Amino acid sequence: MLTLWLARRYVLRCKQLGSSTPDFVPTFLELDRHLSVRTPAATSRRASCLIGVGMLRAYGASFPSIKARLAEVKRSVLRASSKEGFEAGNAACVFGLVAGLLGLGDKDAARCYLYTVARDMVSAATRMNVVGPIQGQEVLADVEGFIEAVAGLVVEGGELDMNEVFVGGGIGDGLASAHERLYSRLFNS
């Protein structure tokens, strides 16, 4: 449910910024700051920002047509992180912005984001030896129809009730917050 909310609230909004607004950086940073505040676990927030800044670098190298605009965003994100003291460059916001700059449609952007989230979850399960690599690929093939249906909900659905989105996340947030203090970490994030 949280991924659905992220896709609708941040990926699609940042996609619209990238596709239509010439001076989008201040609004992008505002949305990014809003998402940082909404991510309670410091480890999750830091990991998302590290991934987002890495995405800015990788997509800039992969797509020369948007390299200059991504470099401008990256400078602003790094400046906001160092001067204003908040972690900037969340992966969901960067993903949406890049989708907009590349001209993807709403449903394509939602589908790509949701697939990326599913792929990352299967990758984590594979690294922890919960599933093997072949079984992981089978899982991704099995959820393809589900991802397509959810992408439709993201694009066509109305606003989500914020109480519904964050119900039941307390235990997971508590565990994520304690992750960096654990002696043996599962992942270095």
**Domain ranges, residue 20:** 2-160
For the chain, the domain total comes to: 1
How confident is the model over 137-188, as pLDDT tens digits?
999 999 999 888 888 888 887 554 544 444 345 666 666 666 566 555 555 5
Q: Is residue 169 part of a domain?
A: no
Q: Is residue 48 part of a domain?
A: yes
Q: Is residue 183 part of a domain?
A: no
This model's pTM is above 0.85: no
Q: What is the DSSP string of 84-147?
A: I-S----HHHHHHHHHHHTT--HHHHHHHHHHHHHHHHHHHHHHTTSS-HHHHHHHHHHTHHHH
Q: Is residue 63 part of a domain?
A: yes
Which of 2-11, 88-97, 154-163, 165-174 has the lowest average pLDDT? 165-174
pLDDT for 9 equals 79
pLDDT, the chain, mean: 82
